[in-house]
């Protein structure tokens, strides 16, 4: 139980923590937790307080100084340099002529490249985790350090994927690329965009790297890692086996989804609301469904009109694409259903909690009126003088103006 002085200290502690230089949302929680534990130990005796001080260390978020602007912009500059190297390899590694690009004028690299890159990606994650947990997170606020870097990365992905959407639509509308039922057209510009889209799958590994460096291991799920690894292999197989014709469709839809997704991330980092946030997962599910339907229709048309042109690698491409989309659909659907269920449970719990608080406030108000009406000398006795044994006010009898306002707000919500 906390008396009026203790409650005031708690509110001041929360406010002080939230206005500290570090922007981490865990600061105020850490400060509240530390203050609450110290107050409880004072109530239980000096011995317990001494044991607490010896056994627990102050939260790192509270004592860490924010990183300098120089270090933050140095990280952002490094991200720009990484983008530059990736663009040089992807756009100009074959020369300046798009007709010489892999999948268009030459074969795509063999399986050793995706194997090396995906294995390196998986091995880098525990190493980054150790580096972040044992050194970086103890010396610097990683969320603040990487803020500008992540803005550069996400905004860069918005521009890159927006360019891919534009080029693919341009190929369909103005360059005469077939909409469906084709396997071999590669000189309309669409196949070059598919090559860029495939190479972007490796750049997207930074999604996970940022999560690990910022300590968000809860986001590094099986779905997340399966998505990044399997999609890189699926696109490599498509570029290796059948890069032309209908291969563009999945790249077009995926690029548009990424415009939505990375623009949401960018707006969130810039502290702007995103009106399409809640539609992203449903748009992804629609994407998977659309690609599966498109793949089935494409196979039927090609098989009906030109079955002699189908080779084993084409059949394999249809199978790989269908399997990838169906597996991602099932995993994303499971994620979406779980998130929706958790939201409903949370809303139900919040409603029940508000109803209980309202009943407590009504009960306290009735007790207050009864106490005042029984006052013999007619004076209004302050209810704060009716305290418990430890000197604090029982929580359910606190009738401050703040609590009354909360009760009115709860009643209005209900």
Task: Name the residues annotated as catalytic.
Answer: 227
Assess contact for 257 and 283: CB atoms under 8 A.
yes
Secondary-structure breakdown of the chain: helix, strand, coil percentages, each rounded to the nearest 5: 75, 0, 20
What's the angle, vertex CA 289, arms to CA 163 and CA 238, rounded to 5? 60
CA distance 200 to 231: 11
* Residues contacting residue 314 through CB under 8 Å, at least 6 positions apart: 183, 241, 242, 302
Please report how many Cα atoms fall inside a 13 Å half-sphere around the Cα of residue 8, on the Cβ side: 5
Query: 78: which 2 tokens?
Result: 């490094």
> Nearest-CA neighbor of 244 among 107, 104, 101, 91?
104
Read off φ and ψ for residue 274, nearest 5 degrees.
-120, 115
CA quadruple 156, 162, 168, 170: dihedral positive or negative? negative
> Nearest-CA neighbor of 195 among 235, 141, 154, 163?
235
Assess contact for 12 and 45: CB atoms under 8 A.
no
Query: 129: which 2 tokens?
Result: 């985790």
How many Å separate Cα 53 from the centre of its chain? 36
CA distance 63 to 140: 10
Q: What is the CA radius of gyration of the chain?
A: 30
Contacts for 326-332: CB closer than 8 Å, 24+ residues apart? 326/288, 326/292, 327/226, 327/230, 328/227, 328/230, 328/231, 328/288, 329/285, 329/288, 329/289, 329/292, 331/222, 331/223, 331/226, 331/227, 332/223, 332/281, 332/284, 332/285, 332/288
293, burial (CB in 10 Å: exposed 0-12, middle 13-18, buried 19+)? exposed
Read off φ and ψ for residue 95, nearest 5 degrees.
105, 180
């Amino acid at each position: 139980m906390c008396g009026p002085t203790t409650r005031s200290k708690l509110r001041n502690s929360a406010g002080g923590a939230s206005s500290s230089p570090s922007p981490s949302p865990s600061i105020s929680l850490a400060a509240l937790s530390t203050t609450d534990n110290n107050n409880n130990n004072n109530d239980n005796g000096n011995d317990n307080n001494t044991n607490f001080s010896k056994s627990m260390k102050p939260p790192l978020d509270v004592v860490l100084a924010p990183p300098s602007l120089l270090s933050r912009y140095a990280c952002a500059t490094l991200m720009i340099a990484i983008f530059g190297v990736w663009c040089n390899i992807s756009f100009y590694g074959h020369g300046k002529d798009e007709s010489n690009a892999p999948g268009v004028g030459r074969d795509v690299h063999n399986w050793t490249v995706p194997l090396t890159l995906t294995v390196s990606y998986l091995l880098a994650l525990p190493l980054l985790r150790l580096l972040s947990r044992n050194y970086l997170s103890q010396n610097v606020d990683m969320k603040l350090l990487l803020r500008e870097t992540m803005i550069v990365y996400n905004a860069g992905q918005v521009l890159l994927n927006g360019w891919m959407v534009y080029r693919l639509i341009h190929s369909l509308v103005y360059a005469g690329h077939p909409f469906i039922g084709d396997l071999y057209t590669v000189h309309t510009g669409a196949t070059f965009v598919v090559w860029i889209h495939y190479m972007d799958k490796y750049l997207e590994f930074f999604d996970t790297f940022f999560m690990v460096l910022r300590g968000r291991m809860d986001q590094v799920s099986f779905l997340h890692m399966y998505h990044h690894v399997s999609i890189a292999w699926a696109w490599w197989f498509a570029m290796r086996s059948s890069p032309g014709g209908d291969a563009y469709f999945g790249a077009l839809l995926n690029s548009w989804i990424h415009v939505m997704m990375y623009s949401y991330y960018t707006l969130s980092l810039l502290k702007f609301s995103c009106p399409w946030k809640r539609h992203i997962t449903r748009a992804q599910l629609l994407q998977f469904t659309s690609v599966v339907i498109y793949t089935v229709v494409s196979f039927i048309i090609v098989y009906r009109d030109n079955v002699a042109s189908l080779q084993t690698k084409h059949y394999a491409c249809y199978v790989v694409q269908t399997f990838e989309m169906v597996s991602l659909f099932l995993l994303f659907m499971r994620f979406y259903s779980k998130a929706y269920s958790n939201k409903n449970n949370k809303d139900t719990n919040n409603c029940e909690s508000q109803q209980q608080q309202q009943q407590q406030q009504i009960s306290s108000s009735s007790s207050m009126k009864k106490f005042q009406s029984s006052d013999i000398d007619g004076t209004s006795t302050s209810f704060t003088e009716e305290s418990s044994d430890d000197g604090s006010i029982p929580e359910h009898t606190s009738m401050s103006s703040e609590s009354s306002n909360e009760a009115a707000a709860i009643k209005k919500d209900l």
